[in-house]
Amino acid sequence: MKKALVFLVVVGLTAGAAVAKTVRISIATGGTGGVYYPLGGGMAKIWSEYVPGVEASAEVTGASVENVRLVVSGKAQVALGTSGVVVTAYKGEGKFKKFGPQPILAIGAMYPNAWQFVTVAETGIKKIPDIKGKRVSTGAPGSGTAVMTRAVLKTLGFEPGRDFKEFRLSFAEQVSALKDGTIDVGAWSVGLGPGSLIDLSTTRKMVLICMSKAEQEKVATAHPYYKPFTIPAGTYKGVNYDCPTVGTPNVLFVRADMDEELVYQLTKALFEHKGELEKIHPAAKTIGPEYVLQATLIPLHPGAIRYYQEAGYQVPDALKPKK
């Protein structure tokens, strides 16, 4: 029998009145200059408003790697993370090898992250090999951006220390550093149009450093969860060219033992009110059961599976957790 989440408890200390039990949910997101934080804030609003008894809040974090640790430790109940980090955590590989497979399951892939390698016109940098001898921020420590940037650059033959001087800054810090010339290049693994890059593109002549087709293919071959992706011309002010790069799905995930009824209610509310998320950020337009079933790379939580099946979708066996 499925264990149901009890939203009401009776506390009869005075008048015997029923008092609502509050389930507090912390959503681990990322930095304020990315997409995770505003999107997580939108999710918190939806869940607090439409799931009885739930009080949710979005928390600023170091993003993907830290988010796995927060969920597994119980300090956060729901989190966003890039597929590369989430898959290695689920399998107990990479940064998680010494800890073994992590007890996480997905609500689903939400939207694709594009790897956005950014400079300003004054540096003269136009392609990835131009970073030799330059000052490059690979992203905040513990973030999916840092993991992805290091993986991409290493695959293409560039090592921090040897080929470039590495900085490890948050999105907001990267914008400030690019403006004042402290760094030459910053990296973002994020949905298109984060506030930090909108800021940079409207105050400086921003340049996206694009990949050649050979570079895209080399990275995609080495890392199956990174796929060729194109940032459309006009995404940012003054960037009037299509920019080939690589992308990876972002995943909303929870602890594997999270209550099934609660995950069902969270999933249901998220998809039934996703229009509210689209008003917060255009990345939310991708969110939907079809994208979940196509792009999720770890098994889904039983509560999420229950929603998708009730909504009329067939969940592939590969997305069902092993019993």
Q: CB of 127 within 8 A of CB of 196?
A: no
Contact 313, 289 (CB under 8 A): yes
pLDDT tens, position by position, 53-66? 999 999 999 989 99
Sequence ranges of the chain with CATH classification 3.40.190.10: 8-112+250-319, 113-248
Full-model pTM: 0.78
Q: Residue 218: its pLDDT value, please?
A: 97
User: Are the C-beta atoms of residues 212 and 244 closer than 8 Å to each other?
Assistant: yes
CATH of domain 8-112+250-319: 3.40.190.10
For residue 303, the model assigns a pLDDT of 98
Q: Identify the CATH number of the domain defined by range 113-248.
A: 3.40.190.10
The string of pLDDT tens digits covering residues 160-200 is: 999 999 999 999 999 999 999 999 999 999 989 899 999 99
Look at residue 216 in the predicted model and tell me its pLDDT: 96
Q: What is the pLDDT of residue 205?
A: 97
18-20 and 8-10 as β-strands: parallel, antiparallel, unpaired?
antiparallel
Note the pLDDT of residue 167. 98
Tell me what pLDDT residue 2 has.
Answer: 39
pLDDT of res. 19? 39
pLDDT on residue 16: 34
Low-confidence ranges of the chain (pLDDT < 70): 1-20
Q: Residue 285 has what pLDDT?
A: 87
